[in-house]
């Protein structure tokens, strides 16, 4: 039986980013939903009320209101913090979580805790200076060494919007160890020097319920390698039966 996918975009992005992957997954017969998290549809909207719990609650509400079960959550970058908490609270509905170059949630810590202390403080100041939004990178930063063509980098950067700052600054809440979740981590090799990943990600290699895969592309695989990513997700879903 094919599983249903919920695709959660990373920072600054909406459901549009998953378009090429979503079409391919549907072609494999999977019911697939890409979502836009609150605060990321309107670049000029007020995000003062949008916190990390808002994003977690949005995904949980979707699962509950539509009574979705046996779901594969796919999270990119920032949204790993969201998906990991959703899987923690809705283990009866989430069959598997796929973290694509994603941050992992840790109880009591925010996404920005993954940054060095000086950068953490600088990002908080940047959010404050930009009306509560975490500013999106420009095309040069988006595309540098990430396997994107210049056209792809411009296309992506032109669509990014400031991300609700509270969501990256507020701590995650987990009720059980992350190692107990059924998950796959997708490493995009162009994002890493000498194949090294963050220590907390590497530690998950020892978790019995976790698997690791590598794609030879950069941080934005849904843009740079949608076919490879969709095929990998299809394979992961088959093994999650």
Domain extent, residue 72, equals 4-239
- DSSP-assigned letter for residue 136: P
Q: What are phi and psi of 121, to 5 degrees?
A: -65, -40
Burial class (CB in 10 A: 0-12, 13-18, 19+), 151: exposed
Token readout for 33 is 């939903």
Residue whose C-alpha is closest to residue 162's, from 8, 10, 19, 11:
11
What per-residue confidence (pLDDT) applies to 37?
A: 98
Per-residue pLDDT tens digits of the chain, which is 241 residues long: 467 999 999 999 999 999 999 999 999 999 999 999 999 999 999 999 999 999 999 999 999 999 999 999 999 999 999 999 999 999 999 999 999 999 999 999 999 999 999 999 999 999 999 999 999 999 999 999 999 999 999 999 999 999 999 999 999 999 999 999 999 999 999 988 667 899 999 999 999 999 999 999 999 999 999 999 999 999 999 987 5
Pairing mode of beta strands 133-134, 163-164: antiparallel
What per-residue confidence (pLDDT) applies to 47?
A: 97
Pairing mode of beta strands 183-188, 94-100: parallel
What per-residue confidence (pLDDT) applies to 198?
A: 94
CATH number for the domain spanning 135: value is: 3.40.50.1820
What per-residue confidence (pLDDT) applies to 241?
A: 59
Give the total number of structural domains in the chain. 1
């Amino acid at each position: 039986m094919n599983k249903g996918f919920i695709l959660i975009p990373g920072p600054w992005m909406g459901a549009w980013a998953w378009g090429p992957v979503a079409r391919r997954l549907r072609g494999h017969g999977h019911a697939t939903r890409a979502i836009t998290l609150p605060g990321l549809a309107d670049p000029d909207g007020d995000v003062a009320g949008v916190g990390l719990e808002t994003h977690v609650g949005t995904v949980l509400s979707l699962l509950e209101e539509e009574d979705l079960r046996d779901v594969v959550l796919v999270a990119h970058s920032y949204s790993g913090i969201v998906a990991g908490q959703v899987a923690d609270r809705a283990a009866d509905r989430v069959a598997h979580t796929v973290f694509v170059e994603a941050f992992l949630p840790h109880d009591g810590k925010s996404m920005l805790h993954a940054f060095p202390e000086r950068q953490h403080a600088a990002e908080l100041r940047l959010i404050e200076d930009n009306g509560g939004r975490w500013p999106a990178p420009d095309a040069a930063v988006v595309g540098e060494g990430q396997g994107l063509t210049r056209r792809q980098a411009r296309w992506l950067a032109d669509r990014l919007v400031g991300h609700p700052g509270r969501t990256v600054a507020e701590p995650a809440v987990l009720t059980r160890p992350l190692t107990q979740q059924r998950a796959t981590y997708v490493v995009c090799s162009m994002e890493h020097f000498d194949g090294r990943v963050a220590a907390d990600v590497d530690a998950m290699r020892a978790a019995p319920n976790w698997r690791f895969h590598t794609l030879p592309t950069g941080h934005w695989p849904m843009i740079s390698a949608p076919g490879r990513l969709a095929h990998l997700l299809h394979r992961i879903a088959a093994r999650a039966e």
